[in-house]
Amino acid sequence: MSSLLTAGANKFRRAREWATPTLKDSAFLQRGVLTPEEFVKAGDELVYRCPTWTWESGDPKKAKKYLPKDKQFLVTRSVPCPTRVSTLENSVAVGEEDTAQIEDECGGDDWLISKVISPEEQERRMDKKIEEEFDILDEDGETLESDMKNLKIEKPENESVEVAEAEDDEYADMEEFEDEDVLEDEAVVAAPNAVSTNENIVKVRTYDLSITYDKYYQTPRVYILGYASSDSSQPLTGEEMFQDVMSDYANRTVTIDPHPHLRGQYASIHPCQHGAVMKTIVKNLTKAASDGDESKPPSVEMYLFIFLKFISSIIPTINYDFTMDVTASTQ
């Protein structure tokens, strides 16, 4: 029954897109959307600056007439995804005020912008906490210093002999560990969610990401397909791919859909609010530039860099590469 409903929904979407007239006039600044020509221009800039991305033609039978035959969609392959998104879930912080504002701007609670605290930020906060604890200890510094002066450490006469014997014992213990193959590869410890073999070779999930042009919503649309490792030919199931999507979006903003240019089922990020979010970001970037910020006003060529920036809040552990630092604020 569910498969029949899915097939019916796909036919409806295809019919709706076919009936929608192609956008001719630029509405990049006004509505955060693109014409097909602007999509190609933005894609060319992405490919130029980030060689990991390339244009693809896909199935000729599925080619869209409003796009060049050799530039139907963008793709980057074998993108590493070393950890599951569940490791970040407890680091997500969406305040009530932020949520209310985002809902007003993005048209309802079906589209949320999760704020993920990066590993660098978590480390910075931990360092700060440690510094604060040491500051508390420093308040008793005089007492600690006097106590240290009162300590008398006697140096044994045969210290050099004892140190040498201790080092010999340590090396002997290390040899036992090596013989028993107990030493673990650092990479295995660093990536506990990755799949490892008996040879301590870590196998990390990889993803193929593609960006298509959605004629109905007049914005880019992202499709992802995951694999258990870079040398695996068997795609992940939909449920497995949802493990790499923020839980706020799984089965809501992100669904399993057929790719418009390729065979197979992909996890797709629904574009219903892409235009609204992009409009807000572009507006903020334009305002920052007009207020004397060093940044330049956004252009159509920058669209996909900004777009990928906010998409990363949905799939934060998939490390697709883009070489430009873009500040994309939705506030």
Q: For residues 29 and 290, what is the distance between their CA atoms, to the nearest angstrom?
A: 14
For 54, residues 6+ apart whose C-beta sits below 8 A from its C-beta are 47, 74, 75, 76
Is the Cβ–Cβ distance between 229 and 206 less than 8 Å? yes
Backbone angles phi, psi at 278, to 5 degrees: -65, -35
DSSP-H helix ranges across 63-115: 86-89, 96-106
> 79: helix, coil or strand?
strand
- Integer-rounded Cα radius of gyration of the chain: 27
Tally Cβ neighbours within 10 Å of residue 159: 9
Tokens at residue 247, please?
A: 């839980």
Tokens at residue 182, please?
A: 């107990």
Active site residues: 272
Is residue 280 packed enough to be buried (19+ CB in 10 Å), middle (13-18) or exposed (0-12)?
buried
Q: For residues 150 and 13, what is the distance between their CA atoms, to the nearest angstrom?
A: 81
Q: For residues 66 and 73, what is the distance between their CA atoms, to the nearest angstrom?
A: 12
Is residue 239 packed enough to be buried (19+ CB in 10 Å), middle (13-18) or exposed (0-12)?
exposed
> 222: helix, coil or strand?
strand
Is the Cβ–Cβ distance between 241 and 224 less than 8 Å? yes
Residue tagged 């859909």 (tokens) = 257
